[in-house]
Amino acid sequence: MIHYRISSTNPAAHYFDIRLKIASPDPAGQLIRMPAWIPGSYMIRDFARNIVEISAFSNAGPIALTQLDKSSWQLAPCTQPVTVSYRVYAWDLSVRGAHLDTTHGYFNGASVFLEVVGQGSNPCSLEIIAPQIHAAAEWQLATSLRRQDAGSASDVEWGFGHFVAHDYQELIDHPVEMGRFTQFDFSACGVRHDVVLSGRFNCDNERLASDLKRICEQQIRLFGEPAPMPRYVFMVMVVGEGYGGLEHRDSTSLICSRNDLPQPGQSQMSEEYRNFLGLCSHEYFHSWNVKRIKPAPFEQPDLTREVYTPLLWAFEGITSYYDDLALVRSGCVSRQSYLELLGQTITRVQRSRGRARQSAAESSFNAWSKFYKQDENSQNAIVSYYTKGALIALCIDLKLRQLSGNKKSLDDVMRLLWTNYLQTGQGIGEYEIQQTITQLLGADISGYLEQLIYSREELPLSEMLQSVSIGLEFRPSSGAQDKGGKEASDLPASSTGVTLKESVNGLDIVSLAEGSAAQLAGVSAGDCLIAINGLRASMKSYQLWLKTMPPGSQHQLSVFRRDELMQFDLVLQQPDQDTALLKILDANDTLLNDWLSAPEYRVGG
């Protein structure tokens, strides 16, 4: 048994104090290391950089520690039980790391727990102790990690205490929230689901529980009862501005803005709440698709370096397809609202010029170096495996329905992958999804799948949507806030091809489309636009200028590049038709109705 204890003597300085007890260290010199990344977030984060103190000792006294690289240490040879004591700086208010102050604490295991190399399959125990401040006497603790004293009274259920995990991988797959929080629960297909809300907010708890219950039950029934988890926890940090999530085996960590939650007394579906439900749906779907059904390289990933796969288009993209689909199938949003969301996804892909330079498989493989490290040229160089993957999933789903006379769909593919996982427990290979589709359909559509996944050609979206009586149209963007999916009026007559952000000095140029009017004129990302034709530029005057000036007209831009004033002659271009709008052509179409309705599935099917 590997034992960990985590506490804090100085939460005001944002320090977690951890003690790691190794009962049987390698007598030749035990190796310990900190993960460099966290599963589900494909970027090297070097969590070891937050270790500010580390030492080791046994009953015989101090033991020398030698640092081998940025995240690994080796103990001097020792045959007695060893304790490693270390301190972690925790000031990352995100779903990926650790955060601690005098009001709240949170951590993911990958960011705080050293791995005992060679003993990763050993059972682990964890003792979590409240920080040593007066306010912590009122703190509670939430986690999906199994309590050592499971089945105790409810007042202990949310208290600090002792926990157990089968191995190190399980230990780091259950984040922990501590502080004063709001908690409520609901049952979905017989499984208890807890919602934990931290921060300052107003929320219609009953409505949120009701909506999440419908979404969770829809997804459980898609794959077949029983649910794969004994209990599930939605852990939500509520802040002024923020949005994101990270999946875990039996829980999810979420961060949202206060306005994203359903407000008491409001019955309408706001755009913010709809997006939050989509986030919850996305992370919940990962309970099957990535936490259990997963790429083979992710079965026992090496957390010290990048682990590559060309399959993120499926594990994030298919999940992104089903997250919004679950909203309409569960009845949380209308069909028109769903089509608006789908139109926004199409718009995001269409606005990415990098779709002609990167396939979905290439985007997946290069997530570490490109998608997670975006810069001002990313829109010209890459495409998101989330959004393009979601559209690939759409094309596969509708193609299967079309070819099978609506008897087969992507639902069946996912259930077959789930059945195979339950039988083998093994990760899937690069071409296994395509093979599963062929097996299910009884026909070879490998050429069609190859084009979707590995080519840089445009997806056959219009054709596939037509097969379910949905028309796809494109129009210009009406401005920075236009996400697509809706009708719009007062559209611009011309385009510069830049993305702008207002600043105290003028309009900062965040990025430029390749071949755009601004790029051809010589403008660069990072420039600050201060005047157009000798008049001071503001967002209002800029938008009015684009609405009234025709393509082909010439204008002078004044910008600061660093501290140098520069002038550029620009010729306005036609605006791109890159903003999608979907319309139902025949509301009685059987394929349409079956696609957007929640099928009934067998228990255990």
pLDDT at res. 598: 77
Contact 142, 104 (CB under 8 A): no
pLDDT of residue 600: 62
* 153 pLDDT more than 50: no
Domain 181-270 = CATH 1.10.357: no
Q: What is the pLDDT of residue 156?
A: 75
Mean pLDDT of 62-68: 97
Structure tokens belonging to residue 36: 């460099």
Overall average pLDDT of the 419-429 stretch:
95
**In the block, residue with structure tokens 């190796």:** 31
Q: What is the model's pLDDT at position 151?
A: 54
Say if residues 509 and 524 touch (Cβ distance below 8 Å). Answer: yes
Tokens of 389: 């993957």
> Residue 312 is inside which H or E element, if any?
helix 312-315
- DSSP conformation class of 83: E
Q: What is the CA radius of gyration of the chain?
A: 26
88 phi/psi in degrees, rounded to 5: -115, 130
Rounded CA-CA distance 462/466 in Å is 6
Q: What is the mean pLDDT of residues 192-218?
A: 97
Rounded to whole angstroms, the Cα distance separating 259 from 271 reads 10
Q: 498-571 is classed in which CATH architecture?
A: Roll (2.30)
pLDDT in the model for residue 414: 98
CA-to-CA distance for 580 and 348, rounded, in angstroms? Answer: 9
SS3 state of residue 445? coil
Mean pLDDT of 448-470: 98
The tokens for 355 are 């779709």
Mean pLDDT of 20-28: 97
Neighbours of 597 (CB within 10 A): 12
Q: Residue 371 in contact with residue 302, Cβ under 8 Å? A: no
Q: Give SS3 for 314.
A: helix
Same fold, 181-270 and 498-571: no
Whether 604 has a pLDDT exceeding 80, the answer reads: no
Q: Where are the beta strands (DSSP E) in 129-284?
A: 140-142, 146-147, 161-165, 176-179, 181-188, 191-199, 231-239, 244-247, 251-257
Least confident range of 150-154, 200-204, 276-280: 150-154
Confidence of residue 154 (pLDDT cuts 50, 70, 90): very low
Q: Are 214 and 331 in contact, with CB atoms under 8 Å apart?
A: yes
Question: What pLDDT shows up at residue 157?
Answer: 86
Q: Average model confidence (pLDDT) for the chain?
A: 96
For residue 601, the model assigns a pLDDT of 54
Residue 578 has pLDDT above 70, yes or no: yes
Contact 61, 29 (CB under 8 A): no
Sketch the domain layout of the chain as residue ranges: 2-179, 181-270, 288-481+585-605, 498-571
pLDDT in tens, 75-112: 999 999 999 999 999 999 999 999 999 999 999 999 99
Residue 602's pLDDT band (cuts 50, 70, 90): very low
Q: Which fold has domain 2-179?
A: Immunoglobulin-like (2.60.40)
For residue 150, the model assigns a pLDDT of: 60
Query: What is the spatial distance between Cα 343 and Cα 473, in angstroms, rounded to a whole number?
Result: 9
Using a 10 angstrom Cβ sphere, with 0-12 exposed, 13-18 middle and 19 or more buried, the burial of residue 504 is exposed
pLDDT, tens digit (0-9, with 9 covering 90-100), for 241-266: 999 999 999 999 999 999 999 999 99
Q: Which residues of 201-220 are buried (b: 16+ CB within 10 A; e: fewer)?
A: bebbbebbbebbbbbbbbbb
Euclidean distance between CA atoms 303 and 26, whole angstroms: 21
Q: Which of 438, 39, 449 is nearest to 246 (CA)?
A: 39
Contact 141, 158 (CB under 8 A): yes
* Count of beta carbons in the 10 Å neighbourhood of residue 151: 7
Q: Write the class of the CATH domain 288-481+585-605.
A: mainly alpha
| pLDDT higher than threshold 90 for residue 70 | yes
Percent of the chain with pLDDT over 70: 98
Residues 440 and 434: beta-carbon distance below 8 Å: no
For helices 410-424 and 205-223, the axis angle rounded to 10 degrees is 80
